[in-house]
Structure 1
Amino acid sequence: MALLQIPSIKNATAFHLERWRKVCANPSLQRLPNRIETNRYGHIVLMQPPGFSHTTRQSAIFAHLMTSMPPGASVEVAVLTEDGIKGIDVAWISGGRVKRGLKDDVLTIAPEICVEVVSPGNTRQEMENKRELYFAAGAEEVWFCDQKGALHFFLKGSEASAAKASALCPSMPKRVKL
């Protein structure tokens, strides 16, 4: 006997992509200055606009990826995770992965490199959760840029402890300056 007469989600990918289409098509949400993500239930999560330090570090990481890697660097990348659609600050993704995973302007496979620039409001638990989500979605590396500009590289296969450098982009500096 069912206690609730609420339909269950049969296809999580289809559910999240449809929910994301509705979020992106909503004129009221388009006018907000906030970055928008969704959670595992399809609920909207508003993120405050990033500050100057955040965007400057984001830009520096993006610029390095643009000049040292084959084409594939991007910013503010929407990716489907087990916890809804998240916006990755900086990413590098190969063309083959884009072809396999891009659906309705959302990646259903995480980029090879996912970079998060830590903001003052982020918690350790939140960042560890993002690392787990990106690896579960297929990332090869997850990088964190802390508030002092130090980069922390986490590699697939040893996700819990930081590596000394990126395996995919070994020329990436260990620190990003403002």
Structure 2
Amino acid sequence: MAALLAIPHIKDTRAFHLKRWAEVYADPELHRYPGRVETNRFGHILMMPPPGFPHSSRQSEIMFQLRTQLPGGRSLTECAVLTTDGVKGVDVAWISAGRIKRGLKGEVLTIAPEICVEVISPKNTRQELETKRDLYFEAGADEVWFCDKQGALHFFLKDSADTEVKASGLCPSMPKRIKA
């Protein structure tokens, strides 16, 4: 137990994750990796392979739809967002200019975009997706969407995070299905 007492306690997890992400982002070796890099609550690096064609195609189509239907903000892919469980890469996001000004710290958003979209991969588990949904809402997202393996979109709103709704509140004309 004495060895544990010698390890300092993290008092400010937000500052810890921002500092750790700056280290990860500055590492030239990690920039050579073709897939996604995230961190977890302990600052450990998580590496995922690049997505397959259907995943990438759905990301692109969702981003296009958001850019077309919500012209007042920015549509992004692989957006780094600070959460209580480290820095996560949101597959697709839509964020207003005001939120960018308030939340962008270096290379990471400290406030989640208004819309965070996860395109489900074959390796994803229900628990993982529910955890990401909760983390994005906790970080300030207004909506979290899932695009399933058949391209169907599933919408969740901050006020009823556990209950799927029929349509987005911010982008109600978003198609319910995305082609790969």
Give the TM-score band, short-chain normalised. over 0.9
Residues 71-110 of structure 1 aligned to structure 2 (within 5 Å): 71-110=73-112
Give the SS at the match of 2:162: strand
Aligned-partner Cα distance in 2 for 1:54–1:37: 18
Q: Deviations over 1:29-88 (max 9, x none)?
A: 111112100000100000111000000000000000111102321111000001000000
Q: Deviations over 1:112-144 (max 9, x none)?
A: 000000000000110000000000001000000
User: Equivalent residue for 1:19?
Assistant: 20
Residues 79-158 of structure 1 aligned to structure 2 (within 5 Å): 79-158=81-160
Aligned-partner Cα distance in 2 for 1:137–1:32: 27
Aligned-partner Cα distance in 2 for 1:108–1:147: 29
User: Equivalent residue for 2:45?
Assistant: 44
Give the SS at the match of 2:170: coil
Aligned-partner Cα distance in 2 for 1:32–1:157: 38
User: RMSD of aligned C-alpha atoms?
Assistant: 1.1
| Residue type at the aligned position of 1:20 | W
Off by >6 Å, runs of 4+ in structure 1: none
State the TM-score, normalized to the length of structure 1.
Answer: 0.97
Shift of residue 11 of structure 1? 1.4
User: Equivalent residue for 2:69?
Assistant: 68
Overall identity of the aligned pairs, in %: 66
Aligned-partner Cα distance in 2 for 1:72–1:24: 22
Q: How many residues align?
A: 178
| Residue type at the aligned position of 1:113 | I
- Which 5+ residue runs of structure 1 have no aligned equivalent? none
Aligned-partner Cα distance in 1 for 2:120–2:21: 24
Aligned-partner Cα distance in 1 for 2:15–2:158: 27
Shift of residue 99 of structure 1? 0.8
Does the 8 Å contact 2:14/2:84 carry over to 1?
Answer: no
- Which 5+ residue runs of structure 2 have no aligned equivalent? none
